Structure formats: C-alpha cells, structure tokens
C-alpha cells in the first residue's frame, strides 16, 4: 500500500521537492492533503496534478479562488490556520511532512502527533521552540519523528543498527554559507541579493538567510538535542565547505560514522517518507574524483554571532530558544525587507534575548505568550 501523505507547506522549497519525490515514486506515495500559506496559484496547480482529498490555504482571503478552481475535481477546500490543524488529523493520512516555515508549524505538528500520525519533520522551529513538549507527546502517543533536514537525516542514518550504542557526540557540518572567511567589516556591506546566493543548496529565502548568518546551524543544534536526546556538550559544529559529508556520529569507542552524498534535499526527504526502505532513484551519484579534498574548520563565532546566540539559548534552555526563534524570524524578515543590515540581525536578537521574560519550564501557553511578547519587542527594536 502506498504511504498516504499530508504535505504542510507544499508550495515552499521542501514541499515542492517532496512532490517531485512523489512524482518519481508514484507507486510508493499518495497525496491526501496539501496546505500552503498564500500561494494559491501553485497550490491549485499541485492539487490538479496530485488530486488530494483536501487542500488548505492559510490566507483566508484566497479561499474562494482556490475553491472555485478545484470545484470540478471534488477536492475539499478549507482556509485558515485552524483548518490546517484540523485537516492533519484526517483518517486517511499516514505521514505528515511538516514543511511550513517558522513558528507556524508548531500547532499543526502537535495536532498530527495527537492524532497518531508519523511525522517527517522539516520544520526545525517546532523542536527549537517546544522540543521538550513535542518529544514528550510523541513518546506518549508512540509516534515516530523522522528528520528531513540533511544534517539530522545524516545522524539518523548513521544511527541505524546502533540504537543500543550510546552516542558520545555528534558533529553537525555547515557549508559556512556565502560569507565564509569574511570579516565583520565586510559583512557590514552585505546586500539581500548576496545573502540569498547559497554556494551549495537551493532553499527558501528564510532558510537561505539563516544559513548565511549561521543561525541555521544553531537552530539545527537545538533540534538535534531533542531529536537524539543529547546534552549541549555532545553537539559539535564544524564548517565543511564541500557539503558532501552531511554530519557524523562518534560512539564511545571512538569510532565515527558519516553519511555522504551530493547536496540534494530530495534524498533526505525520500528517506524520511519511505523509511526504512531505500527506494531506487535515478539522481546523480557522487564522484570522488570531482572532490579530491574534504576540508574542515571551526566556525567563527565572533564574526557570525547568530550562531553564538543560538548556542547560548540551547545551554540556557527554558523558553530561551523560543525567544531566539521569534526574534530571528522578525530579524530575517526585516533584513529581507532591507530595513536593517546583515549584522543588525545579531544586534536585534541579542538585545531581545536580554530583555524578554525568561521562563525555566514553559508550558505551551507560556511559549505562545513568549512568542507574542518577543515578536512585539523585536518589531519595535531600533538599530
């Protein structure tokens, strides 16, 4: 039987690549639900191709447009954030791919876990903001969370067959982004267009900016802490510009395992959706002769202060990662809108982390209050 999928954020970078996987593996997957924020035109096109049982458009003002376009196909159409939460609980869904961007992915993920759906997690902010709550609920419901981020997928693949062997540490690799080796003085002049040109990966705007500032690696460290039940000191980050080794695991005997592959997000997406099977693909294969050397270096925390802030938030715990995430979402959007400079993102986030209310053991309600408070503070911040 094909795996019946809900794809949350189907019009984004991960969502469109997931549908490419479905397109190539038609016998293995079936699309039951598609959701997106506001890209009605692409959502309509996807629904016409994959004929899901239902679609949800987050932007309620575009409901009529989607409904009228899909009426001949007898596809159910809903709108609004609450509808996404409700739709993921539909009986016909086996696995929910959460590829929504940012904090918005939290409540739908919790709803899917509550309904007993397997989770393919591409929304790292869900675990950054509420890792303890999400992983606790998944254990209680017996729900598996399969990581989609290339680094976490690499760790997961390295752990296959090693479930009984304790991890000594994991090593998350980072490309270093487009500004590796740059000084703070050089980063002062960075433009939006420059920051959106990642050397190795094709990603959405928010993730691409996070990668340029190295915030993405900090968020991934926090996510890894919860996914693999680690302490902060068990997580190391190294810069690996070639982006071929996607991450490593070191065991207590000193042995290390690494997962290698070309930088293509379809591979970790497919692995998460098809686990434990490895499906046949026709994608390009890695050629060692094209990469005569792998190099590694320590990240420059003094220059890329977003990474330092994320690691600080991970160590402090409580609602601090939630504060970090909300402030970062506001900062990234401000940079994309060209209202603040590249380095000002770190200033904004650091200032808000010092000022926002710290809660050591937050409930979901605490986290929602933290998110709202932080966004208001960040929106009012002035360089």
- Specify the pLDDT at position 42: 98
Percent of the chain with pLDDT over 90: 93
CATH number for 3-147 (one of 3.40.50.720, 3.30.300.30, 1.10.10.10, 3.40.1280.10): it is 3.40.50.720
- Specify the pLDDT at position 124: 87
Q: How many CA atoms lie within 13 Å of 357's alpha carbon, on the beta-carbon side?
A: 13
For residues 18 and 330, what is the distance between their CA atoms, to the nearest angstrom? 27
- CA distances to 105, 210, 322 from 314, rounded to whole Å, are 20, 17, 10
Q: What is the token pair recorded at 187? A: 């980063």
Place of tokens 């379809």: 266
Task: Please provide the average confidence, as pLDDT, over all residues in the chain.
Answer: 95
- Specify the pLDDT at position 166: 94
Burial of 279 (0-12, 13-18, 19+ CB in 10 A): middle
- Specify the pLDDT at position 37: 94
Query: Do the Cβ atoms of 359 and 316 come closer than 8 Å?
Result: no
pLDDT in tens, 36-74: 999 999 999 999 999 999 999 999 999 999 999 999 999
- CATH number for the region 317-383 comes to 1.10.1740.10
Query: Do the Cβ atoms of 328 and 210 come closer than 8 Å?
Result: yes
Question: What are the residue ranges of helices labelled H in the chain?
Answer: 13-24, 40-50, 63-70, 81-87, 106-114, 124-141, 150-159, 184-187, 192-195, 205-213, 215-227, 266-274, 305-316, 320-336, 344-355, 364-379
Q: Interhelix angle for 215-227 vs 124-141, to 10°? A: 10
Q: pTM surpassing 0.85? A: yes
Q: What is the CA radius of gyration of the chain?
A: 20
Task: Pinpoint the residues of the chain covered by CATH 1.10.1740.10.
Answer: 317-383
Confidence class for position 207, pLDDT limits 50, 70, 90: confident
- Specify the pLDDT at position 104: 85
Please spell the DSSP secondary structure of 101-128, one letter per residue. Answer: -GGGGHHHHHHHHHTT-EEEE--HHHHH
Query: Do the Cβ atoms of 207 and 216 come closer than 8 Å?
Result: yes
pLDDT in tens, 97-144: 999 988 889 999 999 999 999 999 998 889 999 999 999 999 999 999
Confidence class for position 230, pLDDT limits 50, 70, 90: very high
pLDDT in tens, 156-203: 999 999 999 999 999 999 999 899 999 999 999 999 999 998 776 667
- Here the contacts of 207-212 (C-beta below 8 Å, separation 24 or greater) are 207/13, 207/101, 209/332, 209/335, 209/336, 210/306, 210/328, 210/332, 211/175, 211/177, 212/177, 212/178, 212/179, 212/342
Q: What is the token pair recorded at 240? A: 């690996």
Task: Pinpoint the residues of the chain covered by CATH 3.40.50.720.
Answer: 3-147
- Specify the pLDDT at position 259: 98
Paired strand residues for 172: 237, 247
Stretch 325-341: mean pLDDT, rounded? 96
């Amino acid at each position: 039987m094909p795996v019946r999928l809900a794809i949350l954020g189907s019009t984004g970078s991960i969502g469109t690549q997931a549908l490419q996987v479905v397109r190539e593996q038609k016998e293995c997957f079936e699309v039951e639900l598609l959701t997106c924020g506001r890209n009605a035109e692409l959502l309509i096109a996807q629904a016409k191709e994959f004929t899901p049982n239902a679609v949800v458009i987050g932007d309620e003002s575009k409901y009529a447009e989607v409904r009228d376009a899909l009426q001949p196909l007898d596809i159910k159409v809903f709108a609004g954030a609450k509808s996404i939460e409700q739709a993921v609980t539909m009986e016909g869904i086996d696995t929910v791919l959460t590829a929504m961007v940012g904090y918005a992915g939290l409540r739908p993920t919790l709803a899917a876990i509550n309904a007993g759906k397997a989770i393919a997690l591409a929304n790292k902010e869900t675990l950054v903001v509420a890792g303890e709550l999400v992983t606790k609920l998944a254990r209680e419901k017996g729900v598996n969370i399969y990581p989609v981020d290339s680094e976490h997928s690499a760790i997961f693949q390295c752990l296959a067959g090693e479930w009984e062997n304790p991890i000594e540490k994991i090593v998350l690799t980072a490309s270093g982004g487009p500004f590796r080796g740059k000084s703070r003085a050089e980063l002062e002049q960075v433009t939006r267009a420059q920051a959106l040109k990642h050397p190795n990966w094709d990603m959405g705007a928010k993730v691409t900016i996070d990668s340029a500032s190295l915030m993405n690696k900090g968020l991934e460290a926090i996510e890894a802490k919860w996914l693999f039940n680690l302490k902060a000191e068990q997580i190391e980050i190294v810069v690996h510009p070639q982006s071929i080794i996607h991450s490593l695991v070191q065991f207590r005997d000193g042995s290390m395992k690494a997962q290698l592959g070309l930088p293509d997000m379809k591979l970790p997406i497919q692995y998460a959706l098809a686990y434990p099977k490895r499906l046949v693909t026709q994608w390009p294969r890695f050629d060692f002769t094209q990469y005569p050397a792998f190099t590694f270096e320590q990240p420059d925390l003094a220059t890329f202060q977003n990474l330092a802030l994320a690691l600080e938030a991970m160590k402090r715990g409580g609602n601090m990662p939630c504060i970090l995430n909300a402030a970062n979402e506001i900062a990234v959007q401000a940079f994309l809108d060209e209202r603040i400079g590249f380095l000002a993102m770190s200033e904004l986030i650091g200032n808000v982390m010092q000022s926002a209310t710290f809660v050591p053991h937050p409930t979901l309600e605490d986290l929602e209050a933290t998110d709202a408070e932080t966004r208001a503070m960040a929106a009012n911040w002035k360089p």
